């Protein structure tokens, strides 16, 4: 089915679902009734760190390089499969794209997935695919769907009761498609206490957990009381159910506890040794990885660090694909590798799962995927005369790369394969989002039949509870 969604349609539907969630009562757990006779799953992970490459990271330019064709004026666009030469990795016979030398040297500590297939959602909107990736549900939905981090917060609770169980680092909602991004940065019907603790900029992370400079504790408490009154007079206070109101109150109390705790120092990056700080300091994303390390040490449950989605920036390469990726690789290469090494050396990687992923890939020519092609959003000339046209500028959904480390994931493992010639699609062991989510939940010990009754029907962690964990990814 070829949906022709517009941003306005997406916002209307998700806004209606949010209002419905506010008015809903407590979700009724369906787990005990449906799963009480099932075996308990033994967990291999306590914490998940999601490193999200928002905007569409091209697999042929990162972790699955193909034939390299250097730029020359007058070249045919159909010649171009990769715009970077391949480099060796710590795994024999496995190559990455130039610019990822540090991650290449730690891939023997994790699993490389080369066959993730994103969903066919019609005309491609980044935020719709991001919604799908983070919730496992295709938007829009008639209910407010929880983010995967919220499921973990609800089912497992905090590792440390002072540290918020779900922390999101690096995404602002004041740029680009902010309202659409808010639609999936939510606990939905599970309640506000399981939603994300937001840190838009890790360089000012400490400001998120302490009063502004010069404000006394007494004045801050007065502001907090005023905020509570404003909440009572808000749409939540007027239309929210008792469950949702109590959940919001508990989330506010949790934030206040963190403010007065010694664990708040985890947000202060200036306390990190300078030599380590300098490795991570490639920008907001790199420092977000450093904060994720510090929060893991203090007992966070789920941490998302994003390169940030803003239309036509970052990985969203509609032109100048090659030159933009040179810079993007500098932002992510050292921090991701250092995070893996630091957690491995401290012994925490065994129980911490790190995931590096993006909503879909990119290609020079194909928009969507073969057999389900959608309207082109970028004009690609047949003959390339300008460097701005050299790179992967169209959205490609049929072959994406994902890295996974720790938390029970196999070491030195490669899963799936894509074709060496265009279209460079998945040709072995394709894996979709429901299987990926259930694999993550399985590692955390969350049963696949976990569900809550919403609108008089069971609502599962994956649609209809049909997602199956891919055990070949786990040791």
- pLDDT, tens digit, for every residue of 292-347? 999 999 999 999 999 999 999 999 999 999 999 999 999 999 999 999 999 999 99
Q: Angle at which helices 217-232 and 242-259 pack, to 10 degrees?
A: 170
* Residue 346 counted as domain residue: yes
pLDDT tens digits, one per residue of 1-46? 345 556 666 656 665 555 555 555 566 665 433 444 457 899 999 9
Q: What is the pLDDT of residue 142?
A: 87
The answer on pLDDT for 174 being more than 60 is yes
Of 206-220, 289-303, 362-376, 448-462, least confident by mean pLDDT is 206-220
Percent of the chain with pLDDT over 70: 81
* Residue 324 counted as domain residue: yes
Task: Give the mean model confidence (pLDDT) for residues 123-137.
Answer: 96
How far apart are alpha carbons 261 and 273 in whole angstroms?
22
**Taking the CB of residue 102, how many other CB atoms lie within 10 A of it?**
18
Reference 147, options 339, 337, 306; nearest CA is 306
More confident: 257 or 132: 132
The answer on pLDDT for 55 being more than 90 is yes
How far apart are alpha carbons 409 and 407 in whole angstroms?
6
* Residue 313 counted as domain residue: yes
Domain count, the chain: 1
How far apart are alpha carbons 351 and 47 in whole angstroms?
7
The answer on pLDDT for 440 being more than 70 is yes
**Taking the CB of residue 95, how many other CB atoms lie within 10 A of it?**
16
Q: What is the pLDDT of residue 32?
A: 39
Q: What is the pLDDT of residue 1?
A: 39
Whether 105 and 90 have beta carbons less than 8 Å apart is answered as yes
More confident: 6 or 122: 122
Q: What is the pLDDT of residue 217?
A: 60
Q: What is the CATH number of the domain that holds 51?
A: 3.40.720.10
Whether 408 and 474 have beta carbons less than 8 Å apart is answered as yes
How far apart are alpha carbons 82 and 344 in whole angstroms?
32
**What contacts 191, CB < 8 A, 6 or more positions away?**
154, 243, 244, 246, 247, 248, 250, 251
The answer on pLDDT for 349 being more than 70 is yes
Q: What is the pLDDT of residue 364?
A: 96
**Taking the CB of residue 74, how many other CB atoms lie within 10 A of it?**
7
* Residue 2 counted as domain residue: no
Report residue 262's pLDDT band, with 50, 70 and 90 as the boundaries: confident
Question: Residue 105 burial (CB < 10 Å; 0-12/13-18/19+)?
Answer: middle
Q: 229-233, 246-250, 326-330 — which one is most confidently predicted on average?
A: 326-330
Domain coverage including residue 364: 7-473
* Residue 186 counted as domain residue: yes
| Cα Rg of the chain, angstroms | 22
pLDDT tens digits, one per residue of 197-208? 999 999 887 676
The answer on pLDDT for 104 being more than 90 is yes
Task: Give the mean model confidence (pLDDT) for residues 374-392.
Answer: 96
Task: Give the mean model confidence (pLDDT) for residues 197-220.
Answer: 72
For 322, half-sphere exposure in the C-beta direction (CA atoms, 13 angstrom radius) is 19
Task: Give the mean model confidence (pLDDT) for residues 228-248.
Answer: 59
Characterize 51-68 residue by residue with b for buried, 16 or more Cβ atoms within 10 angstroms of its Cβ, and e for exposed: bbbbbbbbbbbbbbbbee
* Residue 1 counted as domain residue: no
DSSP H stretches of helix in 260-377: 274-280, 284-297, 321-346
* Residue 17 counted as domain residue: yes
Structure tokens belonging to residue 4? 């022709």
* Residue 192 counted as domain residue: yes
């Amino acid at each position: 089915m070829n949906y022709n969604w517009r941003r306005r349609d997406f916002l209307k539907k998700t806004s209606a679902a949010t209002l419905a969630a506010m008015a809903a009562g407590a979700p009724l757990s369906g787990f005990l009734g449906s799963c009480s006779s099932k075996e308990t799953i033994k967990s291999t992970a306590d914490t998940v760190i999601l490193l999200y490459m928002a905007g569409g990271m091209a697999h042929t330019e990162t972790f699955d390089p193909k034939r390299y064709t250097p730029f020359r004026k007058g070249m045919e666009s159909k010649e171009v499969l990769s715009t970077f030469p391949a480099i060796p990795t710590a795994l024999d016979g496995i190559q990455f794209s130039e610019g990822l030398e540090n991650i290449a040297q730690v891939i023997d500590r994790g699993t490389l997935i080369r066959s993730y297939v994103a969903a066919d959602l019609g005309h491609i909107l980044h935020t719709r695919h991001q919604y799908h990736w983070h919730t496992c549900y295709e938007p829009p939905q008639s209910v407010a769907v929880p983010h995967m981090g919220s499921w973990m917060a609800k089912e497992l609770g905090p590792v440390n009761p002072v540290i918020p169980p779900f922390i999101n680092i690096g995404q602002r909602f004041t740029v680009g498609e902010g309202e659409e991004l808010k639609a999936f940065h939510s606990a939905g019907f599970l309640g506000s206490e399981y939603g994300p603790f937001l840190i838009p900029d890790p360089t000012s992370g400490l400001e998120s957990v302490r009063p502004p400079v010069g404000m006394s504790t007494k004045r801050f408490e007065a502001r907090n009381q005023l905020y509570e009154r404003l909440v009572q007079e808000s749409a939540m206070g007027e239309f929210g159910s008792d469950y949702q109101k109590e959940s919001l109150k508990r989330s506010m109390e949790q934030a206040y506890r963190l403010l007065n705790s010694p664990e708040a120092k985890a947000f202060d990056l200036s306390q990190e040794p300078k030599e380590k700080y300098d490795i991570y300091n490639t920008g907001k994303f790199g420092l977000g990885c450093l904060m994720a390390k510090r929060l893991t040490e203090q007992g966070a449950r789920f941490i998302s660090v994003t390169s940030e989605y803003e239309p036509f920036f970052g990985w969203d390469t509609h032109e100048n694909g090659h030159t933009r990726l040179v810079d993007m690789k500098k932002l992510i290469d050292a921090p991701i590798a250092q995070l893996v090494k630091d957690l491995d050396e401290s012994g925490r990687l065994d129980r911490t799962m790190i995931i590096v992923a993006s909503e879909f890939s990119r290609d020079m020519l194909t928009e969507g995927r073969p057999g389900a092609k959608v309207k082109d959003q970028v004009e690609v000339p047949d003959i390339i005369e300008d460097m701005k046209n050299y790179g992967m500028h169209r959205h490609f959904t049929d072959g994406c790369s994902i890295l996974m480390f720790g938390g029970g994931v196999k070491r030195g493992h490669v899963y799936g394969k894509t074709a060496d010639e265009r279209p460079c699609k998945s040709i072995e062991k394709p894996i979709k989002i429901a299987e990926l989510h259930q694999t993550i939940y399985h590692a955390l010990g969350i049963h696949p039949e976990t569900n809550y009754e919403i609108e008089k029907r069971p609502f599962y962690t994956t649609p209809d509870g049909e997602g199956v964990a891919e055990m070949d990814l786990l040791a």
